[in-house]
Amino acid sequence: MEYLNKLFSVKEENLKQMFSLKINHNPSDGKFKEELVKAVLDIIPQRYKVTNGFIIDSHGKMSKEMDIIIYDDVYVPRFFVSSYSVIPIESVVAVCQVKTTLSKMELINSIDNLNSIDYLTPEKNGQIISATSGTIREKRYILPLKILFCGMSKTKIDKDSCKAIDIVFSLTSSSDNLGKIQIKQLDDDNLVSTSLDIIEMKTKKMENNNVVVYSKEKLYHFYFSVLRYLTLINNSMIINYQKYYKEGKENE
């Protein structure tokens, strides 16, 4: 649609200019860039919220710090919400790292950071109570999207170096000044399953080499890829609060 293409072209140019601004204090500059990407994500449906912080599971494990977490807000209690949040893995639908400039080492560190969610174990058997049908058990696993967003890339980004990442978005590149977005084409079994266990899903997703690269209309493709993935996920698992409670008591 021509109107949407023009709209996103303007948004992308504004975002590129904002990313070029430099605050002479690295933590503040990093936070500023994170807020810019959060603003980009204002298109997601209202049931999902955007925050930053850490992700936990019911076994007491915690991810590394995430610049951005997109999570299903419907069933999530606020374990801790201030400038940072602690979010249960069962409700997380996407994680994102934001870099002003992406060097080879920053790429390695970002991938390591995003992959830290792989060590968390979501519980499969959450449940809700229906007024007419009694207990309904939700038996699904979901794999959160992994997104890397940078203002400028100074290192090579290809499907081999970023095979663990679902979306890699660079606004500009030091080589051609165009930047690009690399999007892994995922289907239902790569994101949510009632039959595959979590290890099988991760393996299948890592083996998926179906990647599309765009050097134009990057923000347009980013928006609608995220929305498509959220549609595939539809809704996250019901959180097994009993498991969190049980593990907490056993650790006392």
Provide the domain count of the chain.
Answer: 1
Domain range for residue 157? 2-117+137-206+217-245
Span 14-37, pLDDT tens digits: 888 888 888 777 778 888 889 999
Q: Does residue 126 belong to any structural domain of this protein?
A: no
The alpha carbon dihedral of 110, 209, 186, 184 has a sign of: positive
- Average confidence (pLDDT) over 150-174: 85
- pLDDT grade, residue 166 (50/70/90)? very high
Between helix 2-20 and helix 26-40 the angle, nearest 10°, is 170
Q: Does residue 132 belong to any structural domain of this protein?
A: no
Closest CA to 50 of 75, 1, 6, 87: 87
Span 82-119, pLDDT tens digits: 556 888 888 888 999 999 888 999 999 999 999 999 99
- pLDDT grade, residue 62 (50/70/90)? very high
Span 129-152, pLDDT tens digits: 556 666 656 566 778 899 999 988
